[in-house]
C-alpha cells in the first residue's frame, strides 16, 4: 500500500470513533431477547460469565446455523454496502474449524468483492489528488496507475494476512465479535483493537497474531518491488507496514460494532438485510 498517507487514515479513525461512540452510549441496557423458541437452555445463564471472560475461545461445533443468534448481533457480508465484512463471526455463533480452503475463499472475497474494488478506487483517488507518487503523473493514465497499484497492495496484504501466514502458523483468520454479552462499549472497543496482536489458533486457543504482524510486514516489503525505484526505501516500507496494521485495527472496530450500528440506524429494516448481505 505504497500510496497511502497518514492523513486519510487519521480521518477514518476519527470518523470511526465518532460514529461508534454514538451507539456505544446505549449499551448499558440489556440485549434484545429473541423469540421464545430461540432461547437457549436453562444452563445458559451460568454460562454467560464464561463467555465474557473467554471471548477468544467459544466452543467450536460443526453447526453454522445463525438462527439462535439475536438479529441485532448478526454480522452481514458487507458494512453499509461499501466495506467487506467476510471474516466476521457473529457474537454467540459457533462455527467449524477454518480450513485452508476457507482461508483462500475469504481472502479472495476480500480482494475482489465489488466493495473492495470500490474502496480501492477511493484510496487511489485520494492518492491521485495529493500526488502521493509523482512518478505516476496525472490524467487518466496516472489515475489508472494509482488504482492498479492500490488493488495490488490490497491483494498482496490480504493473501499474506488471511491465507499464506495463517496456513503456515495454523491461525484462524476470522474476527470473532464479542457482542453485547461480552461487556460494555470500552471493553468491546479494546477487544477489537487488540485483535491485531491477539488471535486464535485453528484449535481455538489464543495466540500472538503472527498473521497480522508478519503478514503485513511481508506484504509491505513485496509491494515495493512494483513501485518506482525512488519509492523503494526502508522508510516507505515501514510506513506502509504501520498503515496496514492501523487500517486493520480500525476495521476490526467496525466489525465489532456494525450490528449495533445497523440495528440503531435501520431498526426492523435492518433485519431484512441480514440474509441478503
Q: Which of 43-57, 127-141, 246-260 shows the lowest per-residue confidence on average (mean pLDDT)?
A: 43-57
Decide if 196 is inside a domain. Answer: yes
Q: What percent of the chain has pLDDT over 70?
A: 72
Q: Which of 25-29, 126-130, 204-208 has the lowest mean pLDDT?
A: 25-29
Instruction: For residues 98-106, give the mean pLDDT.
Output: 96
- Name the domain count of the chain: 1
Query: What average pLDDT does range 164-188 have in this prediction?
Result: 95
Q: Does the pLDDT value for residue 4 go beyond 70? A: no
Rounded Cα distance between 37 and 196, Å, is 37
For 7, 19, 36, 92, the CA distances from 179, given in Å and listed in that order, are: 30, 17, 20, 8
Residue 265: predicted pLDDT? 84
Q: Is 213 contained in some domain?
A: yes
| Domain membership flag for residue 38 | no
Q: Whole domain around residue 4: which residue ranges?
A: 1-13+97-272
- Separation between Cα atoms, residue 62 and residue 25, nearest integer Å: 35
CB 79 within 8 A of CB 98: no
47 lies in some domain: no
The better pLDDT of the pair 27, 133 is held by 133
Mean pLDDT of 188-209: 96
**Three-state helix/strand/coil letters over the chain:** CCCCCHHHHHHHHHHHHHHHHHHHHHHHCCCCCCCHHHCCCCCHHHHHHHHHHCCCCCCCCCCCCCCCCCHHHCCCCEECCCEECCCEECCCCCCCCCCHHHHHHHHHHHHHCHHHHHHHHHHHHHHHHHCCCHHHCCHHHHHHHHHHHHHHHHHHHHHHHHHHHHHHHCEECCEECCCHHHCCHHHHHHHHHHCCCEEEECCCCEEECHHHHHHHHHHHHHHHHHCCHHHCCHHHHHHHHHHHHHHHHHHHHHHHHHHHHHHHHHCHHHHHHHCCC
C-alpha dist (Å) from residue 26 to 68, 75, 109 = 23, 19, 33
Which pLDDT belongs to residue 270?
Answer: 47
Is 250 part of a structural domain of the chain?
Answer: yes
The pLDDT assigned to 6 comes to 44
Task: Give domain status of residue 44, yes or no.
Answer: no
C-alpha radius of gyration, the chain, whole number: 20
C-alpha grid cell, residue 86: 467476510
Q: What percent of the chain has pLDDT over 90?
A: 63
Comparison of pLDDT for 219 and 42, the residue scoring more: 219
Cα distance between residue 111 and residue 195, in whole Å: 20
Judge whether 65 lies within some domain. no
Residue 59 lies in a domain: no
Amino acid at each position: 500500500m505504497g500510496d497511502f498517507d497518514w492523513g486519510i487514515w487519521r480521518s477514518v479513525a476519527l470518523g470511526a470513533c465518532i460514529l461508534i461512540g454514538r451507539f456505544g452510549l446505549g449499551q448499558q441496557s440489556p440485549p434484545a431477547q429473541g423469540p421464545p423458541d430461540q432461547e437457549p437452555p436453562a444452563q445458559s445463564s451460568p454460562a454467560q460469565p464464561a463467555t465474557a471472560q473467554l471471548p477468544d475461545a467459544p466452543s467450536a461445533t460443526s453447526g453454522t446455523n445463525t438462527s439462535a443468534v439475536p438479529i441485532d448481533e448478526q454480522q452481514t457480508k458487507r458494512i453499509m454496502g461499501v466495506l467487506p465484512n467476510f471474516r466476521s463471526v457473529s457474537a454467540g455463533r459457533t462455527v467449524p474449524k477454518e480450513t485452508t480452503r476457507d482461508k483462500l475463499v475469504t481472502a479472495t472475497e476480500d480482494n475482489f468483492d465489488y466493495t473492495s474494488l470500490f474502496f480501492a478506487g477511493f484510496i487511489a483517488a485520494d492518492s491521485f489528488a495529493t500526488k502521493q507518487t509523482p512518478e505516476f503523473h496525472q490524467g487518466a493514465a496516472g489515475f489508472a496507475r494509482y488504482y492498479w497499484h492500490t488493488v495490488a497492495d490490497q491483494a498482496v496484504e490480504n493473501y499474506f494476512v488471511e491465507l499464506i501466514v495463517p496456513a503456515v502458523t495454523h491461525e484462524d483468520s476470522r474476527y470473532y465479535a464479542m457482542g453485547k454479552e461480552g461487556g460494555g462499549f470500552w471493553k468491546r472497543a479494546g477487544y477489537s483493537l487488540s485483535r491485531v496482536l491477539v488471535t486464535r489458533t485453528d484449535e481455538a486457543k489464543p495466540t500472538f497474531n503472527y498473521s497480522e504482524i508478519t503478514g503485513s510486514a511481508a506484504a509491505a516489503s513485496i509491494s515495493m518491488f512494483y513501485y518506482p525505484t525512488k519509492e523503494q526505501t526502508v522508510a516507505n516500507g515501514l510506513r506502509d507496514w504501520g498503515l496496514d496494521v492501523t487500517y486493520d485495527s480500525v476495521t476490526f472496530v467496525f466489525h465489532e460494532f456494525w450490528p449495533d450500528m445497523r440495528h440503531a440506524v435501520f431498526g426492523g429494516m435492518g433485519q431484512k438485510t441480514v440474509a441478503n448481505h
